[in-house]
Amino acid sequence: MSTRDLLIEVGTEELPPKALSNLSLAFQNEFENRLRSASLAYEKTEIFASPRRLALKVFALAESQDDISIERFGPAVQAAFDAEGKPTKAALGFATSCGVDVSGLQQKNDGKLEKLFYASTQAGAPCAELIPELLQQSLAALPIPKRMRWGASREEFVRPVHWLVLLFGDEVIPARLFELDAANQTHGHRFHHPQAIHLQSADDYPALLHSTGWVEPSFSARRERIKTMVLDQASVKNAQIELDDELLDEVTALVEWPVVLMGNFDPAYLQVPKEALISSLKKHQKCFHLLDNQGQLLPHFITISNIESEDPHQVIKGNEKVIGPRLADAAFFFQQDLNRPLNSHLDTLKRVIFQNELGSVYDKVSRIENLAVFLAGEFDAEPALCQRAAQLCKCDLLSNMVGEFAELQGTMGRYYAEHDKEHPEVAQAIQEHYLPRFSGDALPDSMTGTILALADRIDTITGLFGIGQPPSGSKDPFALRRAALGILRILLEKQLPLDLLSCIQQSISAFAELPEQAGLEQRIMDFIFERLRTYFSEQGVDTRSFQAVDAVRPNLPVLFEHRVKAVSHFAKLPQAQSLAAANKRVANILAKLDSVPTAEVDQTLLNEDAELALYDAFTNVLTITTPLIKDRQFQQALEHMATLQKPLEQFFDTVMVNVDDLSVRQNRQSLLSSVRELFLQIADISYLQAS
């Protein structure tokens, strides 16, 4: 089948930079899905995105759909014609549904009966006829929170649309979208080449746009070019540079022809905490900062311009002129904040609402303080330091600097606490209690910071669940899922033996009233341990191994981890499936009993070789594994339990449990129950049975 390349370009006003990459990927996915749904074959696609365009190139797109063979069986021949050979209503109805007369039908055996049969070939529709509708559907499906209208048009899009390119090979596909007729004319850089650029065919794109139009339309190529040029500029100053991916994506979305320039700012501003200066450079001016080999901020910045100026020095001076007042603002905020002690903000937190039903931030701080002191006792930490850090941990929210740069909460609190001569670990904990902020982020280093990070997150989860506002679907306004994962990462990666249930109970007790208190502990535990499933899944732990441990869930996540690793190892042993099946069988037997069997097995009632062998093997394994389980050597314990495979198999092969003799029957039930309880000290391995 003949193929051609298809080019689609939607030219717009400047697109929102933080959304550009996602919009482009969504456009690609939506259009590819519709091509597949329409049975239009293609080789691959390539996306292009710049501030003024979304474009997609489809390589080797089929010129039409494949022909479709249609085959349908109708009524049996016997029912299709009457005694005189005339077609019945059944035959006429089938013929009408196929769009032919009865004479146009065949007769064919379907393997059982001779029936009326219709066969035809439906020619595939030309690609050019389908593309406009597929394009319109794809653009309408883009994730655009708020669409715009422009002029007198009723059309809507993320930004006003100014041109539309729709080229199939060298042919313009007739289409009208956004009250524009599709054409073969694109437009170059707004300043360097604002004139229209004529495209002879889809093959001209993107090379012609790059060579003539001063536009690098590929988002990924433009991003890589900026990254390389920024690193080269940094090397000129022998400086280190932290390439923030978000900032790199944003500046890539702001320019079509990137030019990298380096400027300077007054070294006097280096007296301000570097985090504040960096935030100002990134947030307001979209600039990259430079560091020396010791990680200290240098008085230089790198900016990305969208024009290749004949006098780049003037562009640099313009940026320096704008950056100066921004840094001066940061210096002013910092100096103003230093004029009052950090703890002077504590009482004012009473006027800052954390959540309507959960009170003020001051109320939250009081609860964090209570829980932090409790955790200090659990971890043998210094209660006074934990209490003081809890009191101050939210005070910087009312500082001028955090009011301007919300991302500096905690960081500025540390600086202000250090200025106030607070204990170094208290200052450190104020910053660390926000860690980890995202997946893969660092954890708190200090014990006080660790305790504060746990207390803050547990209080938030407890409070929101307690008023009936857990996450639902994709909605999680208080980031409770991230908070739960943060708790688990801290406990597991630091190997902290915290009884999570007792901690949640302590947290609940700090609230004056929680309307959803019934069953609250269990709901919170289930929520946190569900995040644990995700955590282990990302580490390659099999779902069955997780379920086996979760069935006998320990309250300590670190203990859960030790067990799940041991079960994962056990699941690979040759005895695992047989023992899983045996445990399942035992569980089914015990589930039918009216009462739980006694824990004691009467050895005098064991009269068959197989049950005696099982009892001896069980008592031997019990003796060996008891100290191993106590020392949390679960893997070794399960390896010893694996030796019970053959005795259990022989027992089930030769021994009848439900005999008439009540005492013997109950004794055998007790033996099986004891074997099962042995495994349940670690996990319910019946979950390992392959389905």
Please tell me the least confidently modeled range out of 205-219, 370-384, 657-671: 657-671
Judge whether residue 667 has pLDDT over 70: yes
* DSSP one-letter code for 409: T
pLDDT by residue (tens digit) across 437-482? 998 899 999 999 999 999 999 999 999 999 999 998 888 999 999 9
Residue 227 has a pLDDT of 96
CA distance 254 to 266: 27
Judge whether residue 629 has pLDDT over 90: yes
Helix axes 274-285, 411-419, angle to 10 degrees: 150
- Percentage of the chain beyond pLDDT 70 is 100
**316 Cβ partners below 8 Å, 6+ apart?**
261, 262, 263, 303
Residue 83 has a pLDDT of 81
What is the residue-wise DSSP string for 125-173? Answer: PBHHHHHHHHHHHHHHTS--SS-B--TT----BSS-EEEEEEEETTEEP
Judge whether residue 1 has pLDDT over 70: no
Please tell me the least confidently modeled range out of 156-165, 248-257, 596-605, 663-672: 596-605
**By the 8 A CB rule, do 664 and 594 touch?**
no
Q: Residue 151: which pLDDT band, with cuts at 50, 70 and 90?
A: confident
Judge whether residue 68 has pLDDT over 80: no
Residue 153 has a pLDDT of 80
Ordered domains of the chain (ranges, CATH) = 3-65+126-213 (3.30.70.260), 68-122 (no CATH), 219-338 (no CATH), 344-540 (1.10.3210), 561-688 (1.10.730)
**Average pLDDT of the segment spanning 53-66:** 93
**Average pLDDT of the segment spanning 240-256:** 94
Residue 691 has a pLDDT of 64
Residue 113 has a pLDDT of 87
| Residue 40: both structure tokens together | 């239009």
Judge whether residue 39 has pLDDT over 90: no
Give burial (CB, 10 Å; 0-12/13-18/19+) of 51: buried
| Residue 566: both structure tokens together | 């041991």
Instruction: Give CA separation, 439 vs 13, 57, 61, 489, 549, in Å.
Output: 35, 34, 40, 10, 25
Judge whether residue 284 has pLDDT over 90: no
| Residue 477: both structure tokens together | 């306004």
CA distance 657 to 500: 40
Q: Using alpha carbons only, give the angle 615, 620, 624 rounded to the nearest 5 degrees.
A: 145
Q: What is the largest CA-CA distance in the chain?
A: 110
**Average pLDDT of the segment spanning 566-577:** 95
Q: Which of 490, 512, 486, 466 is nearest to 366 (CA)?
A: 512
- Percentage of the chain beyond pLDDT 90 is 82
| Residue 438: both structure tokens together | 């995202």
pLDDT by residue (tens digit) across 474-512? 889 999 999 999 999 999 999 999 999 999 999 999 998
Residue 643 has a pLDDT of 95
Mean pLDDT (the chain) is 94
Judge whether residue 67 has pLDDT over 80: no
Residue 52 has a pLDDT of 96
Residue 125 has a pLDDT of 85
Instruction: Give CA separation, 589 vs 360, 664, 673, 684, in Å.
Output: 55, 15, 9, 15
Judge whether residue 140 has pLDDT over 80: yes
Residue 415 has a pLDDT of 98
**Average pLDDT of the segment spanning 272-297:** 94
Q: Which of 421, 480, 465, 444 is nearest to 372 (CA)?
A: 444
Helix (H) or strand (E) holding 235: helix 219-236
Q: How many helices (H) and strands (E) does the chain have?
A: 25, 18
**By the 8 A CB rule, do 369 and 390 touch?**
yes
Residue 406 has a pLDDT of 94
Q: Which of 493, 385, 386, 506 is nearest to 442 (CA)?
A: 493
**Average pLDDT of the segment spanning 553-559:** 96
pLDDT by residue (tens digit) across 336-380? 999 999 999 999 999 999 999 999 999 999 999 999 999 999 999
